[in-house]
Amino acid sequence: MSTAEGVADERLASSSVLRRLLVRPELGALIGAVVVFVFFAVLSPTFRSPAGIANWLDPASTLGIMAVAVALLMIGGEFDLSAGVLTGTTGLAVTIIATRFGLNVWLAVAISLVLALVVGLFNGLLVVRTGLPSFIVTLGSYLVLQGLNLGVTKVLTGNVLVGGLVGRHGFSSAHLVFSSSVVLGGTYFKVSIVWWLVLTALATVVLLRTRFGNWVFAVGGDQVAARNVGVPAARTKVLLFLTTATAAWLVGTITALRNTSAQADAGVGDELTFIVAAVIGGCLLTGGFGSAIGATFGALIFGMTSVGIVYAGWDADWYKLFLGAMLLLAVFANRLVRRYAERRRG
Amino acid sequence: MSDHDGGPERSDVPEVPVQATPGVSGGGAPLLAVESVSKYFGSVIALSEVSTSARAGEVTCVLGDNGAGKSTFIKMLAGVHRPDRGGIWLDGTRVEFGSPREALDAGIATVYQDLAVVPLMSVWRNFFLGAEPRRRFGPVSLFDVAAARRITREQLAAMGIDVRDTDQPVGTLSGGERQAVAIARAVYFGARVLILDEPTSALGVKQAGVVLRYIAAARDRGLAVVFITHNPHHAYPIGDRFLLLNRGRSMGDFGKDEIDQAELTRLMAGGAELEELAHELARTDGAAPPDSGARASRLLAEDADELGRE
Ligand SMILES: Nc1ncnc2c1ncn2[C@@H]1O[C@H](COP(=O)(O)OP(=O)(O)O)[C@@H](O)[C@H]1O
Ligand SMILES: [Mg+2]
């Protein structure tokens, strides 16, 4: 034991810079994003034009908002499978309340937020109180919400598509805040990109430079150890579920105001995309490790790929294959990093 | 009980005989005094009328085989369990802890063997986990990362712990180093009583020695250390007082001048039971030396020690 220890020590000392770089969770996603950008930029001039960039930043932004929130939750050791369908629920709530009940759009947006927080609180409390895996608990709320979205929408509107937001009280100002475009050098960029970047920065500061952020890593890394040193583990987790719910509300609102309508099956299946983006961004499925910036790079890879494939003149069917390969690569790389980071010297 | 001069108030103690510990003098009142505590889990008697004490700048060792009740004993000190009978005195005042937090606030810090740290988090994040220093930046108060890094480095150095890089995940530290970080943390956060649950049992000989040195460092800084182990070879060199537990009962609470290492080892290894076993073995062997009992007990103690390490 003692001889092996001495050898390992020397080797570690010489490679500590590499080691530090490798344990940065977002490094892989950053490299991936650069590779994907260069790849499509070489293939398609449109892809690298300002209008093209604005085009792929748009899907990256709404996905990115969700991926960042889901990344925080995953670092805290939990999943939220209801996050995708909740973007549909919140969008439907805004649209139905504003059009069928005739309330001001801002009021509809506020009520939608309350609904989202109720769902987040339900998920969070159920997980921390019962100790059941969040995978199962949120799978349940995912199915419940999916049923509610379809059922309630059909009962109230007789349709699966609710439209007619345009011209409602407060629509234009709400649209300006959530779904307008910003002109930059003659190119229109969606305002959701600003939301996304601001939230990424905010999440990064919270994670790395606040007490709460330290607790997030701790409850995901080892909940019992965290509790033993006085971390309020249950409160931390519930707050993380409220965060993903709030992000879902933001994305649902952005989408509904942009489309001026909402679809009853919106957001179904997106929950896995959020998780994939977070994992590509360096989040471990086992919790305790990951980054908000990484999740943003993961979302960027998704946005660039979905739009780049079209620009390159390929069939969009290849998109999923490409992402599947990215995911496997990311998980494999993450596992190596974790092994490396966790390896003990003694 | 007469040895606890100025200790617990007699009226609070249930009328039970207490292990006599003649000849113990020590300077002044003990910082921590435990009097005839008992703990039952349903019909299981986990502990029955156990007493000992711990003085500032001294190490009290709690020894016993697996299931002897060592963890139950320290969990009462740490506020995890409440004693069903008997009591705990801190600085001559009776204390009752409703939660680990209350014990911590009273200055009793416990380092559990495996649950002290989060492996994927850096050394400095672990050091301040649950007690993060904060600094106001305009309207928000942020985790003062610079201070956390600096204090961690200083505190580890002050304990004689050489961790090259406080940014590395705690999981990359050796088992001994991780114990050391947890000990340094307890010392920094003002613990007066430091409880260590089997800090050396998962470690190899060399690493165990390193941890014993940190225990000595904590002792020298004036803490009362309660050191749990099943290894008399780890306990004897550093201990000032030895509480021996067997199946929830105290086999004695000895000052260092009342017991020598051989006797401690013999008691720990099961004494008479083992001598019997040794005789049995000797008969099948046919040619056992006269001191086979002691030798067998030593060998078996070493075996137990081996098993204790993963
Ligand atoms: N929470 C509990 N509930 C029931 N029995 C317990 C509990 N904790 C400990 N015990 C029992 O008390 C006895 C002493 O256990 P413990 O204090 O863990 O021993 P040690 O740490 O010396 O190995 C054992 O028989 C154990 O099964
Ligand atoms: Mg134990």
In single-letter form, the type of residue at position A110 comes to A
Whether the CB of B199 is below 8 Å from some CB of chain A: the reply is no
Size of interface A-B (CB pairs under 8 A): 100
d(C-alpha A115, C-alpha A152), whole Å = 14
B81 lines ligand 1 (CB under 6 A): no
- Residue A122: per-residue pLDDT: 98
Å from B117 to nearest chain A CA? Answer: 6
Q: In this complex, which of A211, A226, A346 lies closest to B118 when CB atoms are compared?
A: A226
More confident: B9 or B205: B205
Q: Give me the residues paired with residue B63 across strands.
A: B229, B244
Return phi, psi of residue A315, to 5°: -70, 130
Beta strands (DSSP E) in chain A are: 161-162, 181-184, 187-190, 262-263
* Distance between Cα B32 and ligand 1 center (Å): 23
B203: pLDDT confidence band, cut at 50, 70 and 90? Answer: confident
Range in A274-278, B48-52, B178-182, B305-309 with the lowest mean pLDDT? B305-309
User: Which residues, in sequence order, are CB contacts of B62 under 8 Å at separation 6+?
Assistant: B52, B70, B73, B74, B226, B227, B228, B229, B243, B245
Is the confidence at residue B207, as pLDDT, over 90? no
Q: How far is B275 from chain A (nearest CA, A)?
A: 34
Chain A neighbours among B 219-278 (CB < 8 Å)?
none
Classify strands B85-90 and B93-95 as parallel, antiparallel or unpaired.
antiparallel
Average pLDDT over residues B271-287: 62
Which residues does chain A have with pLDDT short of 70? 1-23, 337-338, 340-346
- Tens digits of residue pLDDT in B116-165: 688 889 999 999 998 899 999 888 899 999 999 999 999 988 877 777 78
Q: Is B41 in the pocket of ligand 1 (CB under 6 A)?
A: yes
Mean pLDDT of B168-193: 86
Helix, strand, coil abundance in chain B, percent, nearest 5: 40, 25, 40
Cross-chain CB nearest to A231 (options B116, B120, B129): B129
pTM: 0.80
Model ipTM value: 0.85
Residues less than 5 Å from ion ligand 2, measured at CB: B 71
The pLDDT score that the predictor gives to residue A137 is 97
Question: What is the 3 state secondary structure string of A136-171?
Answer: HHHHHHHHHHHHHHHHHHHHHHCCCEECCCCCCCCH
Mean pLDDT value of segment B216-223:
90
Residue nearest atom 10 in ligand 1 by C-alpha distance? B46
Spatial separation of the C-alpha atoms in residues B35 and B52, rounded to whole Å: 7
Nearest CA in chain B to A212: B143
- All residues of chain A having their beta carbon less than 8 Å from the beta carbon of residue B177 are 346
- Please enumerate residues of A whose Cβ is less than 8 A from a Cβ of B: 1-2, 5, 13, 16, 19-20, 23, 205, 208-211, 213-215, 217-218, 221-222, 224-226, 228-231, 288-289, 338, 341-346
Is residue B46 in contact with ligand 1, taking CB distance under 6 Å? yes
pLDDT > 50? residue B8: no
Ligand 1 closest atom vs CA B68: 22
In this structure, how many other beta carbons lie within 10 angstroms of the beta carbon of residue B155? 17
What's the pLDDT at B153?
92
pLDDT of residue A346: 37
The confidence score (pLDDT) of residue A47 equals 96
Q: Which amino acid is at B146?
A: A
Give the lowest-confidence range in A139-153, B67-81, B112-126, B276-290: B276-290
Amino acid, single-letter form, for residue B47: L
The distance from CA A57 to its chain's CA centroid, rounded to whole angstroms, is 15
DSSP state of B13: S
B67 CA from centroid of ligand 1 (Å): 6
DSSP letter for each residue of A104-117: -HHHHHHHHHHHHH
Contact criterion met (CB < 8 Å) for B120 and A228: no
> Mean of the pLDDT values across residues B95-114?
85
Mutate to test the interface with A, among B80, B105, B111, B118 (most CBs of A within 10 A): B118
**What average pLDDT does the segment B100-123 reach?**
84
A218–B129 C-beta distance less than 8 A: yes
Burial class (CB in 10 A: 0-12, 13-18, 19+), B168: buried
Confirm or reject: Cβ of B115 under 6 Å from ligand 1.
no
C-alpha of B2 from chain center: 25
